[in-house]
Structure 1
Amino acid sequence: MNNLMRAAGLSLAIATAAAAPAALAQAAPPAADSLFRATTLNLAAYGEVRVEPDMATITLGVMTEGKTAAEAMTANAQRMNAVMASLKKAGIAERDIQTSNLNLSPQYRYQENQPPTLVGYQASNQVTIQVQDLKRLGAAVDTTVNAGANQVHGISFGLKDPTAAENAAREAAVKALSAKADLYARATSHRIQRLVSLSEGGGYAPQPPMPMMAMRAEMKDAGSPVSGGELRVRIDVTGLYELAR
């Protein structure tokens, strides 16, 4: 009997020792539980400023045709040289003129049940122009068209340096975020304890190109300025706030 009691006691001791770590593990809250011990606000806001553009980008080109590849390319080069000269005459610096696409392609005539017939070649040359002085923009567009540019793909307005506009939008975004956090804190009878984290999104994005038809509608006569309107610069922010009673 004594031996049986000692065996039972030993078994109970081993079982108790094994259960102790499990009981401790259940009693101790997981690390993630600490996140729920504080009341937090996760909010988003944005700041936006409107500024006038101080530069513009135009994409235009010349397309020519010829019976031979050489003829099409020669005619294209002559006309493009005239366009380049007109741009420089309009006050556009050479560093602000960049060739963006040069293409030569054969042209075929198609007839039913007949193989394609080569009828000539088409050459195209595109340039991208940055106009640093918007007062010269209308004259630059007009003079290139008069010089032989027969492809004007559009115009977009932008900023030479968007830093100041972005910083102004950042300040407006943070103020809006703080005001929203204060409102929620008051509404829930809390106070702001601290700002835990802050993240940013958005920023300056150049205006999409305006179709040439719309651009020409802005031009009242040859050489008149093109209206750039205003650009919107927006910064989005997200903040995590800890609240306290």
Structure 2
Amino acid sequence: MRNDKFWFSTIIVSSLLIMSLLLLMQIGFNPAPAQAQTDQPVSNVLSRTITVVGEGTANVEPDIAQAVIGVQISNRDLEAATSEAQQKMEAILMALQGQGVAEQDIQTANFNIFVERLPGPEGQLTDELLYRVNNDVRVIIRELDNISPVLNAAIEAGANNIYGVNFSVDDPSTGRAQAREEAVNNASSKAQDLARLANVQLGEIVRISEITGDRVIPFAQAEAFGGGGPIMPGQLEVTVRLEVVYAME
């Protein structure tokens, strides 16, 4: 009887030892998963950067001119004022097209009717009305040598309101590629100076963006037309500004 108890106890102890050993082996062959390495936060990367604004310019020759041409008629009779303004504008349009201005290059800029009370003999306002009719068109002149003939033809046809003569380029991208290249070089020069002053090494470009609202500045506006003197197109200065962020090594 004692032998049976002895063997029974031995079997239980052996089973517990085997189970413990198996458990230890399982833990040893299944280590805890390693934590994945994470990239350095973007905020830390951007904290070691140099940000500059580079500016570049390019000079281009204007190839089109624009002007506002119109007529102003005053009359105490509204119907008579509008009728006369219409007749003169039709004559102006025919004169413009006769000088080679295409129909798609003529666009109505203003059409206004103003009512004014006329003063009496002693300066007091009366019930008598004066109507002023303005009719203006914006004209694109694609042959710069033809500016004065176009304006003179409009005046002869009845135009008595001409203003806003200016020059531009038909393709807005003209000169901007050159200005961007100069802006990048300008930004690089500024960043190198800052890195030298800060005693750090300048790294690669982290971010680059173009600041909107690039400028086109005329070097010369129209001075006069007809008998008043020559019109000088001059040059246009195209300016591009870039914000460039460099890493510091």
Give the partner amino acid of 1:215: E
1:215 corresponds to 2:223 = yes
Secondary structure at 2:231's aligned position in 1?
coil
Look up the match of 1:137. 147
Look up the match of 2:79. 70
TM-score (norm 2): 0.73
* Structure 1 Cα separation of the partners of residues 123 and 147 of structure 2: 51
How far residue 205 of structure 1 moved from its aligned partner, in angstroms, is 4.0
Q: Which runs of structure 1 show a deviation greater than 6 angstroms over 4 or more consecutive aligned residues?
A: none
From 79, 85, 88, give the equivalent of 2:97.
Answer: 88
Give the partner amino acid of 2:158: G
Secondary structure at 1:136's aligned position in 2?
helix
Look up the match of 1:28. none
Larger-gyration structure (1/2): 2
Secondary structure at 1:116's aligned position in 2?
strand
Q: Kindly, what percent of the aligned residue pairs are identical?
A: 28
Query: What are the equivalent positions in structure 2 for 1:76-115 lying under 5 Å apart?
Result: 76-111=85-120
* Structure 1 Cα separation of the partners of residues 137 and 192 of structure 2: 52
Query: What are the equivalent positions in structure 2 for 1:1-245 lying under 5 Å apart?
Result: 34-35=44-45, 39-111=48-120, 116-201=126-211, 202-205=213-216, 215-216=223-224, 219=225, 221=227, 226-244=231-249
Q: After superposition, what is the alpha-carbon deviation per residue over 1:45-69, rounded to whole angstroms, capped at 9, x for unaligned?
A: 1000111111011012101122311
Identify unmatched segments of 5+ residues in structure 2: 1-40
After superposition, the Cα gap between the structure-2 partners of 1:66 and 1:100, relative to the gap in structure 1 and judged at 3 Å, is same
How far residue 189 of structure 1 moved from its aligned partner, in angstroms, is 3.8
Identify unmatched segments of 5+ residues in structure 1: 1-30
* Structure 1 Cα separation of the partners of residues 169 and 214 of structure 2: 12
Aligned length: 208
Asked whether the equivalents of residues 99 and 127 of structure 1 are also in contact (C-alpha less than 8 Å), the reply is: yes
* Structure 1 Cα separation of the partners of residues 111 and 127 of structure 2: 24
After superposition, the Cα gap between the structure-2 partners of 1:166 and 1:83, relative to the gap in structure 1 and judged at 3 Å, is same
Cα RMSD (Å): 2.9
